[in-house]
Amino acid sequence: MQTRGKVPAERVEKIMDQIEKYIMTRLYKYVFCPETTDDEKKDLAIQKRIRALHWVTPQMLCVPVNEEISEVSDMVVKAITDIIEMDSKRVPRDKLACITKCSKHIFNAIKITKNEPASADDFLPTLIYIVLKGNPPRLQSNIQYITRFCNPSRLMTGEDGYYFTNLCCAVAFIEKLDAQSLNLSQEDFDRYMSGQTSPRKQEPENWSPDACLGVKQMYKNLDLLSQLNERQERIMSEAKKLEKDLIEWTDGIAKEVQDIVEKYPLEIKAPNQSLAAIDSENVENDKLPPPLQPQVYAG
C-alpha cells in the first residue's frame, strides 16, 4: 500500500488495525491460550498467588491513594473494572485499550489524592495494588496474547506500550513478592501468607470524621474475622491436644490392666462335689451314723 498505492502511513495503520481486528476475532478461540503452551498453568499460578496476597494493604506498597475520598474510591473501582474487562476483548488493540483506561484512572486517583500530577514512582505501586485487588481473570494468557499478536510498533512506542510494560512489571513484582519487598519480618510474612492472622487495620477512633461508614464497617468486620480465625486456631490446637491426651490415657490404662493380669493370673478351680441330702436314697457315700431304730419296751 505504501510503495504502490502511495497510501499515507496513518491510513495504512488504520487499515492494518481493521485487518487485525477481523483476523484475530475469527482466530481468537484457536490462538488465545492454546493447548501447546503453558498459559493456563501460569494463569492458575498467578491467580492463586494474588489470592494468597489478599492481606496486602496500600500502606505496605506505599500507594499514594486515599480511598476515603469518594472521588478517588470511584477511580479505583473504575480502574479495577477496566483491568478485569480486558479478558472480554478479543482484539489485542482492544485489550491494550483496557490497560490504558485503567492506567489513566490510576493517574487521576493519584492526582486527586496528592493534588499534583502523578509520577512514575507513584504509578507502578498503585498499579500493583489494583492488580492485587482486582485479580483479573486469565491475566497471563492476556499478556501473552497481546505480546504474540499485537502490532509490534504499538507495543514499542506510545502510551499503550508504556502502560503494557508497566503491567508486565507489576505481574513480575507480584510473582516475586517477599517479606523484604513489604518491609516485613519473615515471620509476619509467613503468618499472613498462611492465613493465621492479618495485618492490624486502622482503629475506628483514628478515622477522620469524613471517612466512609461502609469502609469503617468493612475494616471492623475484617478485624472481627481475624480475631475469630485466631480463636479457631487456638481451639483446634487445644482440641488436638485433648484428643492426644485421651488416647495416651486410654493406652496407659489398658497397659496397666494387662500388667496386672499377667502378674496375677486368674485361676478358676473346679467346684467341690456336693454332699448327698439326708433324705436322699443314695447313701453310699453318706458318712452319717445309721438312723436310730425304734425299740419296743414291755410295759
SS (H, E, C) 26-65: HHHHHHCCCCCCCHHHHHHHHHHHHHHCCCCCHHHHCCCC
For residue 238, the model assigns a pLDDT of 85
Angle of helix 92-114 relative to helix 120-134, nearest 10 degrees, comes to 120
Residues in the chain: 299
Residues 183 and 40 in one domain: yes
Residues 51 and 134 in one domain: yes
Tell whether 191 is covered by a domain.
yes
Residues 189 and 79 in one domain: yes
Tell whether 16 is covered by a domain.
yes
Q: What is the CATH number of the domain that holds 37?
A: 1.20.1050.80
**228-266 exposure pattern, b = at least 16 Cβ within 10 A, e = fewer:** eeeeeeeeeeeeeeeeeeeeeeeeeeeeeeeeeeeeeee
For residue 234, the model assigns a pLDDT of 79
Residues 95 and 156 in one domain: yes
3-state secondary structure 206-253: HCCCCCCHHHHHHHHHHHHHHHHHHHHHHHHHHHHHHHHHHHHHHHHH
Identify the burial level of 192 via C-beta atoms within 10 angstroms of its C-beta, where 0-12 means exposed, 13-18 middle and 19 or more buried: buried
Tell whether 268 is covered by a domain.
no
Residues 115 and 182 in one domain: yes
Count CB neighbours of 26 within 10 A.
11
Residues 158 and 14 in one domain: yes
Tell whether 278 is covered by a domain.
no
The number of domains in the chain is 2
Question: Are 127 and 170 spatial neighbours (Cβ–Cβ below 8 Å)?
Answer: yes
- The C-alpha atoms of residue 260 and residue 5 are separated, in whole angstroms, by 108
Residues 192 and 218 in one domain: no
Tell whether 79 is covered by a domain.
yes
Residues 148 and 221 in one domain: no
For the entire predicted model, the pTM comes to 0.66
For residue 260, the model assigns a pLDDT of 85
Identify the burial level of 193 via C-beta atoms within 10 angstroms of its C-beta, where 0-12 means exposed, 13-18 middle and 19 or more buried: middle
Grid cell 436310730 in the structure block, residue: 292
Cell of 292: 436310730
For residue 131, the model assigns a pLDDT of 97
Residues 182 and 54 in one domain: yes
Tell whether 280 is covered by a domain.
no
Tell whether 260 is covered by a domain.
no
If the chain, 299 residues long, is cut into consecutive pieces of 10 residues, what is the mean pLDDT of each piece? 75 86 93 93 95 91 91 94 95 95 96 90 95 95 94 85 96 94 89 79 51 66 74 83 89 88 77 57 60 71
For residue 204, the model assigns a pLDDT of 46
The amino acid at 196: Q
Tell whether 283 is covered by a domain.
no
Range of the domain at 84: 9-200
Residues 90 and 151 in one domain: yes
For residue 269, the model assigns a pLDDT of 72
Residues 81 and 157 in one domain: yes
Count CB neighbours of 283 within 10 A.
14
Residues 194 and 170 in one domain: yes
Q: Residue 219: which of 202, 198, 205 has the closest Cα? A: 202
